[in-house]
């Protein structure tokens, strides 16, 4: 009997699977096995990543609330915008006060706008949604729900610079008096 005779199916038995079909079958099994391993790996990796994230603290790095803005000479009569801290410093002779430039609507930076009548008055305009504030920070138009914030000022004992303390909100009549 030749070897090709051995590959003939027996009467009523299972036919012998050709070599090419066997390879395809192994390939399919291999794929299914790999997919299963990948699924198990993913199922283990996700909880591991979540538990690793849980040991990292949720820290927000916020800018300092109390900071120096420069020597008194920087703040002459009128207003100075301190862009890096988003505050306005106003000086009237020997008194200074600080108004925050953060719009009370959604936090855009308001801009100082001179009024057309130019009687020394001015307004703050918010470029984002059109809120308007009077010179004392009071909101009078647009979606802003409340006035601009006022902050406390002080003089640094070490070098005489002006300090803004955003952690200490001030009343709008509050003023720092300095000697000229
Ligand atoms: S953020 Fe100023 S009006 Fe909306």
Taking the centre of ligand 1 as the mean of its atom positions, its distance from the CA of residue 133, in whole angstroms, is 11
Give the residues surrounding ligand 1 with Cβ less than 6 Å away.
103, 105-106, 108, 126, 128-131, 142-144
Q: What is the pLDDT of residues 30-65, one digit of tens each?
A: 766 777 777 777 777 776 767 766 666 677 778 889
Q: Where are the domains of the chain?
A: 16-61, 66-177
Taking the centre of ligand 1 as the mean of its atom positions, its distance from the CA of residue 73, in whole angstroms, is 32
Instruction: Please give the pLDDT value at position 55.
Output: 67
> Which are the contacts of 127, defined by CB distance < 8 A and separation ≥ 6?
108, 110, 111
Taking the centre of ligand 1 as the mean of its atom positions, its distance from the CA of residue 108, in whole angstroms, is 6
* Among 102, 113, 128, residue to substitute to test ligand 1 (most atoms within 8 Å of Cβ): 128
Residue 180, classed as helix, strand or coil, is coil
Residue 135, classed as helix, strand or coil, is coil
Q: What is the pLDDT of residues 120-159, one digit of tens each?
A: 678 999 999 999 999 999 999 999 999 999 999 999 999 9
pLDDT tier for residue 71 given thresholds of 50, 70 and 90: very high
pLDDT of residue 23 exceeding 60, the answer is no
Q: What is the pLDDT of residues 81-119, one digit of tens each?
A: 999 999 999 999 999 999 999 999 999 999 999 766 656
Residue 31, classed as helix, strand or coil, is helix
Domain 66-177 falls under CATH 2.102.10.10: yes
In this structure, the number of other CB atoms found within 10 A of the CB of residue 66 comes to: 13
Which residue has the least CA distance to atom 1 on ligand 1? 106
* Among 111, 123, 126, residue to substitute to test ligand 1 (most atoms within 8 Å of Cβ): 126
Q: Which atom of ligand 1 is nearest to the CA of 127?
A: 2
Residue 116, classed as helix, strand or coil, is coil
């Amino acid at each position: 009997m030749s070897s090709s005779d051995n590959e003939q199916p027996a009467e009523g038995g299972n036919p012998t699977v050709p070599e090419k079909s066997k390879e395809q079958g192994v390939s399919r099994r291999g794929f299914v096995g790999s997919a299963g391993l990948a699924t198990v790996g993913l199922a283990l990796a996700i909880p591991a990543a979540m538990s690793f994230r849980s040991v990292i603290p949720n820290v927000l790095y916020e800018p300092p609330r109390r900071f120096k803005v420069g020597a008194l000479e920087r703040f002459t009569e009128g207003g100075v915008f301190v862009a890096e801290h988003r505050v306005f410093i106003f000086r009237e002779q020997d008194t200074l006060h600080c108004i925050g430039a953060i719009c009370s609507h959604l936090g855009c930076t308001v801009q100082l706008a001179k009024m057309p009548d130019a009687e020394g008055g001015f307004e703050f305009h918010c470029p984002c949604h059109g809120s308007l504030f009077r010179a004392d920070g009071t909101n009078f138009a647009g979606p802003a729900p409340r006035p601009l914030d006022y902050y406390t000022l002080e003089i640094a004992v070490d070098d005489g610079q002006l300090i803004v303390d955003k952690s200490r909100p001030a009343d709008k009549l509050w003023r720092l008096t300095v000697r000229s």
